[in-house]
Amino acid sequence: MNISDKLRLLFHNTESICVLTGAGISAESGVETFRGSNGLWSKLKPEELADFNAFMRNPELVWEWYNYRKKIIHNVKPNPAHFALAHLQELVKDFTLITQNIDNLHIRAGSKNVLELHGNIERSYCIDCGKFVADVEVSLENKVPHCQFCNGIIRPDIVWFGEMLPEGVFEAATEAANQCELFLTIGTSAVVYPAASLPLIARENGAYVVEINMERTEISHSVNETLLGKAGEILPQLVKMKEEIKG
Ligand code: OAD
What tens digit of pLDDT does each residue of 135-164 get?
666 554 557 999 989 999 999 999 999 999
| Tens digit of each residue's pLDDT (9 = 90 or more) over 78-132 | 999 999 999 999 999 999 999 999 999 999 999 999 999 999 999 999 999 999 9
Instruction: Please tell me the residue having the least CA distance from ligand 1 atom 17.
Output: 230
Task: Please state the rounded mean pLDDT for residues 181-200.
Answer: 97
Mean residue pLDDT of the chain comes to: 92
**pLDDT tier at 170, thresholds 50, 70, 90:** very high
Kindly state whether residues 143 and 205 are assigned to the same domain.
no
Kindly state whether residues 82 and 105 are assigned to the same domain.
yes
Given 12, 82, 118, 221, which residue is catalytic? 118
CA of residue 186 to ligand 1 center, whole Å? 9
Report which secondary-structure segment, H or E, holds 133: strand 132-134
The total number of structural domains in the chain stands at 2
- Is 229's C-beta closer than 6 angstroms to any atom of ligand 1? no
Kindly state whether residues 69 and 90 are assigned to the same domain.
no
Q: b vs e for 54-79, b when ≥16 Cβ sit within 10 Å of the residue's Cβ?
A: bbeeebeebbebbeebbeebeeeebb
CA of residue 129 to ligand 1 center, whole Å? 32
| Tens digit of each residue's pLDDT (9 = 90 or more) over 21-73 | 999 999 999 999 998 777 887 887 888 889 999 999 999 999 988 988 998 99
- Is 28's C-beta closer than 6 angstroms to any atom of ligand 1? yes
Provide the domain limits for residue 187: 1-31+78-118+165-247
Kindly state whether residues 142 and 202 are assigned to the same domain.
no
pTM for the whole structure: 0.95
Q: How many residues does the chain have?
A: 247
- 10 Å CB burial of residue 91 (0-12, 13-18, 19+) is middle
DSSP state of 128: T
Kindly state whether residues 182 and 114 are assigned to the same domain.
yes
Kindly state whether residues 151 and 205 are assigned to the same domain.
no
12 is catalytic: no
CA-to-CA distance for 105 and 166, rounded, in angstroms?
19
Kindly state whether residues 235 and 175 are assigned to the same domain.
yes
- Residue 60 makes CB contacts below 8 A (sequence gap 6+) with 143, 144
- Residue 108 makes CB contacts below 8 A (sequence gap 6+) with 77, 78, 82
CA-to-CA distance for 96 and 114, rounded, in angstroms?
7
Kindly state whether residues 125 and 206 are assigned to the same domain.
no
The CATH number covering residue 144 comes to 3.30.1600.10
Kindly state whether residues 243 and 190 are assigned to the same domain.
yes
Kindly state whether residues 180 and 233 are assigned to the same domain.
yes
Kindly state whether residues 91 and 2 are assigned to the same domain.
yes
Kindly state whether residues 239 and 125 are assigned to the same domain.
no
pLDDT > 90 fraction of the chain, expressed in percent and rounded: 79
